[in-house]
Structure 1
Amino acid sequence: MEESDGAADAVVFFDLETTGLDQSCEIVQLAAVSGRHWLNLYTVPGCRIHHSAARVTGFRVRRQRLYLHRQPVLTSSLREILVAFLAFLQMLGRPLLVGHNIRRFDCPVLARALDGLQLRAKFTSSVSGCVDTLPLLREMLKERGLRSFRQENLVKEVLGVSYTAHDALEDVRALQSLYRALQPSPELLCRHVFTLDTMGKKATAVKVKVPGQRPLVEQGAKVTESSGEGPAGGQEEV
């Protein structure tokens, strides 16, 4: 696998697929990408997948097996996929974790899962902070008068391309391309950084080492191999 540049390695884009959008939903799939390196893992949830989520994503559980568009997928326990995610982050040297609408959805779901397995402290030590591209891009693109800030609409508006939305691996790859095209400044990123402990509070500027420019650069370690499996789904919100 070809190595990506150091600046890209210091940012990880991630997305979750879940059983629904309610407060008690569970993880079905987790995808992450940094440069050319990616992670894509599935787990059988402990609760049923809501019919509306299944209709959008194609996930079903039958006889304790997970199916994606009627095809069985390999799964691991929730602990195993979270431990693999933490290892992915640690290999990149405490990267910035970036995702679309993660402050209100993905990160609270992730936090509940980490807390349930006593893994939050390890996660906290594995990242330099989190950034939600939904408010970030609203600020960056406020002059364009966009009606929708769904990720697929932003990709179409900025990059002029369409992609398979609600597929987590495609979602994170598309977000990485969008992020690279727009190149948010370190100062802007600092205004949007949060942690699992502060995600429910009003956003305030945080002093953090942000990838992209010196002296704010915090380069991650190179990853020499990719890990994960095939495609999966993702959730978006305006």
Structure 2
Amino acid sequence: MAVPQDAVASVLEMAIGRIASSAPVLCVAALQMLPPREELLEAGAGQLRWACFDLECTGLDLHAEMLQLAACAGPAPPASSFSCYVLPPTRRVGAGAEALTGLRVEGRGCARALLDTRSGERLDALPERAALLRFVAWLRQLRGAGAGLVLVSHGAVLLDVPVLLLALRRTGLAEHFAQVVVGFCDSNAVFRSDKSIQKYSLQHLYGRFVGWRDESHRAEQDAADLFTVLLKYFNTTELSLGEAALARCTYTTDCMLRHVAWLEWAQPHRAPLRRLLARCPQSSARLRKGLLRNLLAAGLTREALAELRGDPQALRARVQQQVADMKQRRESYLTDTADVSAEQVAAVVSALLLLPQ
């Protein structure tokens, strides 16, 4: 007989309390100036269960907070799915996110509530930690006697994984989550590696491989539909690392923890670099984004660039060498830096640094 998720969550809560003072705490790696090297989950990791997950959030930035958390481990059976609305601890819903999801936070303090603007009803939303406790309990049940779980999300490394891992760290549940979830797969990377596919939104992919669907922008539908798309795409009844396209895009949980730590370090350095790159108006927005990603991945913050001294040729050579070293050692889908060369970065940045301040 299946144990209710709330009961498992309660046991987990008590266990956390008992071991909190003695167990080593798994935390995000110390902040560093360089992104982690890509670390893929190895096929020999044992019998793995796979589940697709999705979040609805207050916005699209790194420190957005969850409004809904949902996951699906297969079609049909209720036991294979999870969904929970979440009352964000500090943030209200951005205008763009509200228009997309139909979710809004109303009230203040103890009177705060999550409202479905489409139906006008108040939703039964849990506090962030309670929602995550239930999620970890569901993941434990899903794993069973297996070696671990792989969570799949569409565009995982851009939003879903950072927001989820930061929430787990904030609530003290990162260690317990990492004992169950051994890897993350980004399905966006899977489909981008297929040159026959030109559009990568979940809506387009579902239409191509399954059929038409309503687009509700609710996490439970998107998680279930992503699982269906992947099964159809791979023509299988079970996802596994035996599919080369999945294996190439599945990262260890430790790798993603270190990636999120690097994103946190990079966050405050983005605005000063954007201001510097904005002084090159003849460049396209796409090029400036590529330059920004390369500079951050190479550890070249605005402060670091200001410390570079020397004649124009020497300055350009130093920037090019540092970016080239990053590309040789750390460039991957996680850094998203391949579209701009080290030579391009050095040429633009050295010219900007020589302009009058």
TM-score calculated relative to the size of structure 2: 0.51
1:150 is aligned to 201
1:203 positional shift:
4.7
Moved more, 170-179 or 89-98: 89-98
Q: Which has the higher contact order (CA 8 A, sep 6+)?
A: 1
CA distance in 1, matches of 2:104, 2:69: 16
1:151 positional shift:
0.7
1:96 positional shift:
1.4
CA distance in 1, matches of 2:211, 2:66: 31
For the pair 1:22 / 2:61, whether they are aligned, the reply is: yes
For the pair 1:117 / 2:167, whether they are aligned, the reply is: no
CA contact 1:107–1:196 (8 Å) conserved in 2: no
Would you tell me which structure has more helix in proportion to its own residues? 2
Q: Deviations over 1:162-218 (max 9, x none)?
A: 2324111110111011011012743332211113432337559xxxxxxxxxxxxxx
Secondary structure of 1:118's counterpart equals: coil
Q: Which runs of 5+ in 2 are unaligned?
A: 1-47, 260-329, 334-357
Aligned residues: 194
Q: Which runs of 5+ in 1 are unaligned?
A: 1-8, 205-238
1:131 positional shift:
0.3
1:65 is aligned to 113
Identity of aligned residues (%): 29
CA contact 1:111–1:196 (8 Å) conserved in 2: no
Q: Deviations over 1:108-167 (max 9, x none)?
A: 00111011112111111111311010001111x3124x1x21111111122232232411
Secondary structure of 1:52's counterpart equals: helix
1:58 positional shift:
0.4
Secondary structure of 2:67's counterpart equals: strand
Residue 187 of structure 2, aligned match among 109, 112, 133: 133
1:59 positional shift:
0.5
1:4 is aligned to none
Residue 249 of structure 2, aligned match among 171, 192, 197: 192
| One-letter amino acid of the counterpart of residue 105, structure 1 | L
CA distance in 2, matches of 1:97, 1:196: 10
User: Considering only CA atoms, is the larger Rg found in Structure 1 or Structure 2?
Assistant: 2
CA distance in 2, matches of 1:192, 1:202: 14
CA contact 1:163–1:170 (8 Å) conserved in 2: no
CA contact 1:57–1:166 (8 Å) conserved in 2: yes
| One-letter amino acid of the counterpart of residue 131, structure 1 | C
CA contact 2:182–2:253 (8 Å) conserved in 1: no
Residue 50 of structure 1, aligned match among 94, 97, 100: 94
CA distance in 2, matches of 1:61, 1:117: 20
Secondary structure of 2:87's counterpart equals: coil
2:140 is aligned to 90
| One-letter amino acid of the counterpart of residue 115, structure 1 | R
Secondary structure of 2:212's counterpart equals: coil
2:37 is aligned to none
